[in-house]
């Protein structure tokens, strides 16, 4: 029986692992998953780190000396996170080299407190890039209005960027423009762009959740809008990737900013548990999946190109949503606001956990 993840790779989609924890790095499991061909990168966020640190003792041995040295909770967090990210980058280095920089990336997010602070984001992205000091690092920057100039500046500075919290196609166009502008700025500064990689992370399942809550139980649009939106986003990517502007950049070895499908675990138990992998397969894409979704896809996923299928149905679903009086523009803005708040709340909770342990050990 063919391994569906191996088949995905052949179709041009990379699976990244939406999870990080110190024991995965230390017990050899992450390395084993790479060898088995299951994952080709790792993403992290404040919620994942909160889960890793608050719900385990994995970090106690590292935390104690930092606490005794008088470091505050946020400084301790960055020390712990940077060590995890460095170790994960090192584990992925062979794949990074073998894939010639296509995969093998590990993502670390800037502080969610900076989501509406362009300058603060630019400064912290540069600082984290320098502190981690690994070529296969990606710095996660949210696709807020304030994040857009930070994305451009970071790309221009030679930093790999994972643009996160994208919900709308309108914002996605702005994200692609920020990436291309950053590359163009770098060329004007007579710097190389061939080592710079970026992904644009479109959040999937949350859109169905917010839309479904506004639809009648028997609506045929339930569970359809997130996939439709992603398919139209992929079409936008293809248009930019084949356009004149990117074509000029390709002459000096620019890399695609691949779409990355995030938040791909199904939140509604009535939907297939591999829905947001099965329906979003296509070349030059990434899907970052949490542990349960990865196991489900390994067990019963179907690997076939689906992103470019049924585009007319996707357009019709979006049109029918508007006819039903539901604003996709409002829904995606609400999701961006909620996403920023959720990550900030998770970060606050994480710092509170570290502070408690710091007090207990200092």
**pLDDT value for 360:** 84
> CA 210 → CA 206, 267, 334, distances in Å?
6, 11, 9
Contact 183, 157 (CB under 8 A): no
Judge whether residue 131 has pLDDT over 90.
Answer: yes
**347 in a domain, yes or no?**
yes
Contact 346, 46 (CB under 8 A): yes
Percent of the chain with pLDDT over 90: 92
Contact 281, 13 (CB under 8 A): yes
Percent of the chain with pLDDT over 70: 99
**324 in a domain, yes or no?**
no
**335 in a domain, yes or no?**
no
Per-residue pLDDT tens digits for 21-44: 999 999 999 999 999 999 999 999
Domain around 142: 4-206+233-307+340-361
The residue-averaged pLDDT of 342-359 equals 93
Q: Which of 112-116, 148-152, 265-269, 308-312 is predicted least confidently? A: 265-269
Q: Which residue shows structure tokens 């981690």?
A: 132
In sequence order, the β-bridge partners of residue 166 are 202
**29 in a domain, yes or no?**
yes
Per-residue pLDDT tens digits for 43-74: 999 889 988 988 888 898 999 999 999 999 99
pTM for the predicted model, two decimal places = 0.97
The residue-averaged pLDDT of 139-143 equals 99
Judge whether residue 1 has pLDDT over 60.
Answer: no
Q: Is 71 a catalytic residue?
A: no
Per-residue pLDDT tens digits for 143-166: 999 999 999 999 999 999 999 999
DSSP string for 42-63: E---HHHHHHHHHT-STTHHHH
Contact 201, 165 (CB under 8 A): yes
**pLDDT value for 57:** 87
**pLDDT value for 362:** 62
**69 in a domain, yes or no?**
yes
CATH classification of the domain holding 148: 3.20.20.70
**pLDDT value for 257:** 99
Tell me how far apart the 2 most distant CA atoms of the chain are, in Å.
61
The residue-averaged pLDDT of 264-284 equals 95
Domain tally for the chain? 1
**pLDDT value for 276:** 98
Helical pair 60-68 and 73-98, crossing angle rounded to 10 deg: 130
Distance between CA atoms of residues 357 and 353, nearest Å: 6
Strands 137-142 and 13-17: unpaired
Q: What is the mean pLDDT of the chain?
A: 96
**317 in a domain, yes or no?**
no
The residue-averaged pLDDT of 260-279 equals 95
**326 in a domain, yes or no?**
no
Q: What are phi and psi of 89, to 5 degrees?
A: -60, -45
Residue from 23, 55, 83, 140 carrying the catalytic annotation: 140
Judge whether residue 3 has pLDDT over 90.
Answer: no
Judge whether residue 215 has pLDDT over 80.
Answer: yes
**184 in a domain, yes or no?**
yes
């Amino acid at each position: 029986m063919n391994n569906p993840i191996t088949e995905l790779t052949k179709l041009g989609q990379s699976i990244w692992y939406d999870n990080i924890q110190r024991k995965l790095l230390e017990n050899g499991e992450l390395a084993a998953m790479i060898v088995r061909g299951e994952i080709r990168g790792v993403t992290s966020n404040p919620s994942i780190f909160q889960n890793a640190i608050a719900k385990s003792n994995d970090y106690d041995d590292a935390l104690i000396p930092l606490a005794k040295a008088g470091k505050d909770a946020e400084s301790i967090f960055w020390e712990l996170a940077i060590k995890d990210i460095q170790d994960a980058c090192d584990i992925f280095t062979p794949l990074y080299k073998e894939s010639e920089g296509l995969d093998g990336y590990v993502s670390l997010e800037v502080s969610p407190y900076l989501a509406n602070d362009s300058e603060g984001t630019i400064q912290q992205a540069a600082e984290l890039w320098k502190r981690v000091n690994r070529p296969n690092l990606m710095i996660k920057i949210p696709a807020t209005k304030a994040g857009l100039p930070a994305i451009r500046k970071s790309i221009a500075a030679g930093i790999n960027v994972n643009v996160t919290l994208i919900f709308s196609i309108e914002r996605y166009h702005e994200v692609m423009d920020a990436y291309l502008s950053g590359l163009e700025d770098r060329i004007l500064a007579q710097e190389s762009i061939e080592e710079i990689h970026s992904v644009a992370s479109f959040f999937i399942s949350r859109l169905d959740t917010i839309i479904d809550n506004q639809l009648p139980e028997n609506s045929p649009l339930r569970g359809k809008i997130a996939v439709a939106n992603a398919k139209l986003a992929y079409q936008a990517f293809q248009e930019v990737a084949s356009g004149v502007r990117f074509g000029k950049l390709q002459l000096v070895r620019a890399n695609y900013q691949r779409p990355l499908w995030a938040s791909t675990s199904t939140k509604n138990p009535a939907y297939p548990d591999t829905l947001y992998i099965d329906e979003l397969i296509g070349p030059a894409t990434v899907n970052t999946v949490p542990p349960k979704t990865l196991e489900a896809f390994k067990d019963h996923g179907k690997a076939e190109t689906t992103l470019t299928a049924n585009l007319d149905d996707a357009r019709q679903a979006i049109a029918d949503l508007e006819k039903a009086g539901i604003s996709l523009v409002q829904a995606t803005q609400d999701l961006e606001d909620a996403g920023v708040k959720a990550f900030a709340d998770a970060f606050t909770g994480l710092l509170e956990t570290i502070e408690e342990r710091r007090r207990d050990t200092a």
